[in-house]
Amino acid sequence: KAGVTQTPRYLIKTRGQQVTLSCSPISGHRSVSWYQQTPGQGLQFLFEYFSETQRNKGNFPGRFSGRQFSNSRSEMNVSTLELGDSALYLCASSLGQRTGANVLTFGAGSRLTVL
Amino acid sequence: AQKVTQAQTEISVVEKEDVTLDCVYETRDTTYYLFWYKQPPSGELVFLIRRNSFDEQNEISGRYSWNFQKSTSSFNFTITASQVVDSAVYFCALSGLSGGSNYKLTFGKGTLLTVNP
């Protein structure tokens, strides 16, 4: 079956611009999570959506937002880009169980460079 | 709060050597889950194993084995007879309510494993 698809894979923006990243989960998965990966901070949780509702948000400024559509596809948006937003943004999907046992299946990521 | 520590930033071995990647975690939860993921140069994290806090049995899958010890809060990963294809960054991760949610993973910083021919 198809894996988690993220688009675009690479993008370059300048400071002050905004960006929208897209994620299509594995069919049947209703939970989509987003993580930011940087060399300095490692992998950090951004937010998680389940059935179009945000269930949890990480410690990121309000410039980072997301949403999930009725078909479970998700988008995240970063407004007023800063140099420090340059990172690999990883999307992951899962069944979204409440127990914490969820195995996340990750996409290949969207690599954002802010100039 | 939760924390995962992977003290080894980089490890370099020669093919066919055995290598152990260390993972130490901190959590207040009695129920929690531990994971290992592999990230090859392509960037996609690949799931390797999940272990819940009530199951301390060690597990072996081919050349991979995992040693979970609650007494030392460790969940170490051993690759036997390493191969060049094992070269990747390996992440240990933890989920549980004291991390703020059951719906997120707290990752360690990762260990870059290089297997030389």
- Distance from B24 to chain A by nearest Cα, in Å? 16
**Tens-digit pLDDT profile for residues B15-70:** 999 999 999 999 998 889 999 999 998 889 999 999 999 988 888 899 999 999 99
Q: Which residues in B lie closer than 8 A to residue A96 (C-beta atoms)?
A: 103
**Tens-digit pLDDT profile for residues A20-58:** 999 999 999 999 999 999 999 999 999 999 999 999 899
Q: Is the pLDDT of residue B99 over 70?
A: no
Query: Percentage of chain A with pLDDT > 70?
Result: 99
CA-to-CA dists, residue B88 to A80, B64, B79, B113, B116, angstroms:
33, 14, 12, 5, 12
Average pLDDT of the residues of chain A = 94
Picking from A33, A36, A43, A105 by the largest number of B CB atoms within 10 A of its own CB, the best residue to mutate is A43
Contacts of A25 (CB under 8 A, 6+ apart): A4, A31, A32, A72, A73, A74, A91, A93
Task: Find the closest chain A residue to B91 by CA distance.
Answer: A43
Distance CA A73, CA A64 (A): 17
